[in-house]
Chains A and B, each alone.
Chain A
């Protein structure tokens, strides 16, 4: 077209819509993973663009660690209700009760266990495709993942054995018991997400914007005080103006100091930020350079 008006956001949006429609058309029983975080809120808008005026041809699914920020859960429920779409929530507590997850310390990060509950939920509903809001720019292991990422019966990803992906022709075929993860926003960056939130005026949890919060400093990170994180003896509680760049497990998601009160101000801040989103906020990925890859192989998103 006359590319004078077709911007990179238009190009990314159109690609994502195309991917979601392929999933709806070719997969028997797909689901859209929806956490109430910013990437999955963008996914929700893309699904509206892909399928309105009809309802989504798939339910929304959230795997709840019960370590989530209450503002995020509230946003999740509000958005699903506003859209009138079906939301399925499955909690780690369910897996803990069944004994499929054994947790040593209930206050420690729970991300590693999410894959267990996700796989159980996939089996419960017989999903053959789960769409997720992961992006290739988030982490090195993701940079090589396909948009349609095939999982075996154990939910495992084999980076050495991925299907080649050519043009915009996606191979969605799986055998019974296998499934695929689909990443419609693979090619979006953190900046694209913020620009889209600003352009579409998307409602996201307030904790993405600057607010005053009680925090403690541990090592290089600033950690929010909550019912799961208490100051240890000798640690000082400070009140800082902060915002979250990702909103995962409360025990390991660190905010950054910020005064950005809306998406536009975040865009300005992000364009001068010199730390990756995961580097800034996820303490569990820093442990080893390859930790994300290991978790993905185990079936984590």
Chain B
């Protein structure tokens, strides 16, 4: 592998038996990422179960319980590499209680492969997976129309499914979908083109995974730096050293840049960008670095540095258009300001929100607020209790919170909004929340890292919800 290999994280989504595990097994197998001992272990198991060919899905179906049940529960991670890229695959199961797993796996993914059984076409589940992918803001979507061997590799069948899917996706504001016909079982269009789908002129899935542009999947415009840890060595050599350690979640920073510390609003200038290897002049997301400042101001974990000028180099795509020196291609720029907003909330509702300005065009400063609205995915078995206080973890800050209002629940199958006074596991809802201390918030559609949070149950310490500022 060369030392310029990029990392791409993707997930597979589909109903039970659409072929997710087979597809992943096929990718690993055909890209020569399966080891002999793994192959011999699964051939033994396939034989024991009386199967004719090696069942590649056994490669990913990890835990004993599910080996016994023969289904995938929960999220498993798989790794493989080609000379071009290293891949992390999140394999999520396809049964009914699926929302929580998919939201979890999608939260870190650059790309989702949505599987369809060519015999069945676009199903309710397909719509659900597409909605969840757009809710979580996965930047790239591939529609894999699988089991083409079962429909005689018919071009018409493929085209009909694609047309139906595109019409639906457009309703969610998704226009950039790559559709690939495929037989995961036989290997057509996974790694090799194969001879059965000669009418299809596009590239096989692996080709696409290797080449899709992901440089702009993170927000490259707005500098966001949540402080994780304050480094005070207190040694002779570093007597006065006070470094603010963290990861650049988005944007970039250079020595001499003016920064504002949120929520206090104090300002200073970056003195040094320190790393173990050497000091840097400039650093970018997602680098982990240590910043020192020109001024001694009171800063602790949970504070966030942003650039003081609040100017964006790349204006909101929905706003006044892009300045001529914008470094991003047009398509990348609009991908950052994804179409989530149009899915999860009406513009009028957003305007009435207490943090309405984060969704406005042109501003690059987060909003510091104690009240805000969010899309929430409830993850826990115990339902939401509106009378209780919970804990919210947003970037590196943990504060108490409560839910002041449930606006509506989204039916993930029909996308209809329903009034509700409770939230159960796998429910998606728009809520209003209050927090004890102010948070520096970005709209999720602009920033996946400073627009997201988790909710923790103080009594059980479980993670009970995932939230996206909307």
Contacts and interface: CB of A to CB of B under 8 A. Distances in A.
B63 A2 contact: no
A279 B37 contact: yes
A171 interface: yes
A169 B452 contact: yes
B284 interface: yes
B229 interface: yes
A189 B79 contact: yes
A279 B38 contact: yes
B64 A293 contact: yes
Interface string B236-249: 01100101011100
Interface string B386-409: 000001011110000000000000
B284 A1 contact: yes
Contacts of B74: 144, 159-160, 162
Interface stretch (B12-20, B81-89, B111-119): B81-89
Interface in A231-284: 271, 273-276, 279-280
Given A10-B287, A275-B35, A2 B215 contact: yes
B3 A9 contact: yes
Interface string A164-202: 111111010111000000000011010110010001000
Nearest to B251: A1
Nearest to A192: B86
A7 B81 contact: no
Interface string B71-114: 00111111101000110100000000000110110011000000
Contacts of A10: 287
A192 B5 CA distance: 11
Q: How large is the interface on A (under 10, 10 to 19, 20 to 34, 35 or more residues)?
A: 35 or more
A176 B215 CA distance: 43
A125 to B, nearest CB: 21
A5 B283 CA distance: 12
B434 interface: no
Given A136-B79, A169-B393, A169-B453, A4 B4 contact: yes
A222 B394 CA distance: 51
B276 A52 contact: yes
B229 A290 contact: no
Nearest to A52: B276
A212 interface: no
B1 A195 contact: yes
B205 interface: no
Contact of B78 (A143, A169, A280): A143
A137 interface: yes
A175 B1 contact: no
B67 interface: yes
Interface in B416-470: 448-449, 452-454, 456, 461-463, 466
A63 to B, nearest CB: 25
A214 B220 CA distance: 56
A3 interface: yes
Contacts of A159: 63, 65, 74
12 contacts: A3-B6, A7-B5, A22-B228, A24-B229, A141-B62, A167-B448, A168-B247, A168-B449, A171-B461, A171-B463, A199-B3, A275-B36
Interface of A: 1-15, 17-18, 21-22, 24-25, 48-55, 136-137, 140-141, 143-144, 159-160, 162-169, 171, 173-175, 186-187, 189, 191-192, 195, 199, 271, 273-276, 279-280, 289-290, 293-294
Which 4 residue pairs across A and B have the least CB separation, nearest first?
A: A1-B284, A279-B37, A54-B233, A17-B288
